[in-house]
Amino acid sequence: MKIGDVRAMTPDEVEDKVHELKKEQFNLRFQRATGQLESTSRVRAVRRDIARLLTVAAERRQGKTIAAKPSTPKPAKEKKPAAEKTEKKAAAKPAAKAKKKGK
């Protein structure tokens, strides 16, 4: 869940989502205790989602207005041609060998 998505929610939706995530957190604790938990990273993600939701709810109660930005995927990085990569690696190898000889 992204912060932009949370800020776009209504206060009632935030409250419902917190309630839903707290139930999920409760179930995950029981699964961990009984050894049935498969995705341990989900415990951390749920905890952080709850904190994110509660933070936005607290900001709204204090009257802070932060514009909701829709979440957008990050642009893909430009790939360098293979020739440039090999040139950089070749230039770095002699320097590394010189360091080893000096030791």
Task: Give me the helix-helix angle, 41-62 and 11-34, nearest 10°.
Answer: 150
User: pLDDT by residue (tens digit) across 44-93?
Assistant: 999 999 999 999 999 999 998 777 666 666 777 777 666 666 666 666 66
The reported pTM is 0.63
Helix ranges (DSSP H) in 1-103:
3-7, 11-34, 41-62, 82-102
The pLDDT, as a whole number, for residue 28 is 96
Token readout for 18 is 């917190």
Q: Is the pLDDT of residue 12 over 70?
A: yes
User: pLDDT by residue (tens digit) across 27-43?
Assistant: 999 999 999 999 999 99
Q: Could you tell me the fold of the domain covering 1-72?
A: Helix Hairpins (1.10.287)
